[in-house]
Amino acid sequence: MKHSERRPFPWHILFFLLPGLAIYLVFSVYPLLDTLRMSFYGDAADGGHAFVGLRNFVTLLTDSTWSDAFWNALKNNFEFFFIHMLLQNPIGLLLAVLLSLPKLRLRNTYRTLIFMPTMLSVVIIGFIWQLILSPIWGIAENFMYGIGLGNHFDSWLGKEGTALITLGLISVWQFVGIPMMLIYASLLNIPDEIVDASVVDGANPLQTFFYVKLPLILPTIAMVSILTFVANFNAFELIYAVKGALAGPNFSTDIMGTLFYRTFFGFQLQQGSPTMGAAVATLMFLIILAGVMVFLLVVQRRINRFQL
């Protein structure tokens, strides 16, 4: 611009940017920063909050009345995440590969129908599976008898040893459509020439997949993994809908989201505490941030070498 010194104040920029930015700052950025700040405060004698430094975190991580619950929730949350990584993403990959096969009939129908559960509320899905697995209704039980495994039926959602895995499987069942769609899209993006070249070079379909296609879709798989990580460490609804805020039996399904909710609002005899809740939220923030950083710094950089 030649007249930069005399340029009038760019009101139009303000006009376009301000409304959205203001709402984002006030209702997302500020609350997050304020939550981080609050995690350094505790209840004061006068009913207000007083600065207590790292005391909340020390309590959460070392005082056994709190730390038992915290480490339990963290461990369960990692278990929940690993169930998704071991099942949801590989199944999603398999379905995506099948869907991307050339000249497949009914492709769109399969795609639409398999993605359907993803659209529904986690709460609804939780209730549906609760009904199906209920020994009262007996759907799952009869099915198990039908395939000759009747003696292995148990009220999986009600047992300490199996409740979390069962909830993990329900969640996998619901969200398998997301990795399927994203990986499917990136498989379609692979130029035909590259695949043709490998076929001309004598590679069989499996070799083509593992040596040509897989390296090319690794960035998408990495992105799916980090999305899974963030979603799992932010999960709450499924556990709350099926097992309530107490995440029973005996906290065996407690994850960070439910722990955060209980700490903040209290339950039964325990009083809710905004500052302790903020401390749990801060730890969740750090965990998610660490995951995102690992993704950005390590995985993404390595994978870039494979990109075209």
Partner 1 sequence: MKALFFDRSQPATGGWQRGAQTGKALAVHAVLLTYTVIALFPILLVLINSLKSRKAIFRDPLGLPSLDTLNLGGFEQVLLRSDFGLYACNSLVVTILAVGLVLLLGAMAAWALTEYRFRGNLLLAFLFAMGIMIPIRLGTVSILNLMVQLHLVNTLTALVLVYIAQGLPLAVYILSEFIRTIPKELKEAARCDGISEYKIFFAVILPLLRPAMATVAVFTMIPIWNDLWFPLILAPGEESRTITLGVQQFVGQYVTDWNAVLSSLTLAIVPVLVLYLIFSRQLIRGLTAGAVK
What residues between 210 and 269 interact with partner 1 by CB under 8 A?
226, 230, 234, 236-237, 240-241, 257, 260, 264-265
Stretch that binds partner 1, among 72-80, 130-138, 247-255, 299-307 (CB under 8 A): 130-138
One residue of 50, 185, 290, 297 binding partner 1 per CB under 8 A: 185
Q: Does 157 bind partner 1 (CB under 8 A)?
A: no
Q: Does 94 bind partner 1 (CB under 8 A)?
A: yes
Q: Does 124 bind partner 1 (CB under 8 A)?
A: yes
Q: Does 132 bind partner 1 (CB under 8 A)?
A: yes
Cis preceding linkage at 205, omega within 30? no
CB of 157 to partner 1, least distance (A): 13
For residues 260, 264, 268, 269, the Cα torsion angle rounded to the nearest 10 degrees is 110
Tokens of 218: 């690794």
Collapse the DSSP code of 3 into the 3-class scheme (helix H, G, I; strand E, B; otherwise coil) and give the result.
coil
Binding residues for partner 1, rule CB under 8 A, total 85
With beta carbons less than 8 A apart as the criterion, state whether 185 and 258 touch.
Answer: no
**Residue 3 Cα distances to 14, 57, 143, 176, angstroms:** 20, 55, 78, 56
Nearer residue to partner 1 within complex by CB, 45 or 136: 136
Tokens of 290: 């660490």
One residue of 2, 3, 6, 12 binding partner 1 per CB under 8 A: 12
Q: Does 131 bind partner 1 (CB under 8 A)?
A: yes
CB of 252 to partner 1, least distance (A): 20
Q: Which of residues 51-90 bind partner 1 (CB under 8 A)?
A: none
DSSP 8-state secondary structure symbol assigned to residue 154 = -
One residue of 120, 149, 290, 298 binding partner 1 per CB under 8 A: 120
Is the four-CA dihedral 207, 211, 212, 216 of positive or negative sign? positive
- Separation between Cα atoms, residue 98 and residue 101, nearest integer Å: 5
**Residue 58 Cα distances to 3, 53, 70, 166, angstroms:** 59, 10, 12, 33
CB of 99 to partner 1, least distance (A): 7
One residue of 85, 114, 294, 299 binding partner 1 per CB under 8 A: 114
Q: Does 139 bind partner 1 (CB under 8 A)?
A: yes
Nearer residue to partner 1 within complex by CB, 138 or 303: 138
CB of 102 to partner 1, least distance (A): 9
- Separation between Cα atoms, residue 281 and residue 279, nearest integer Å: 5
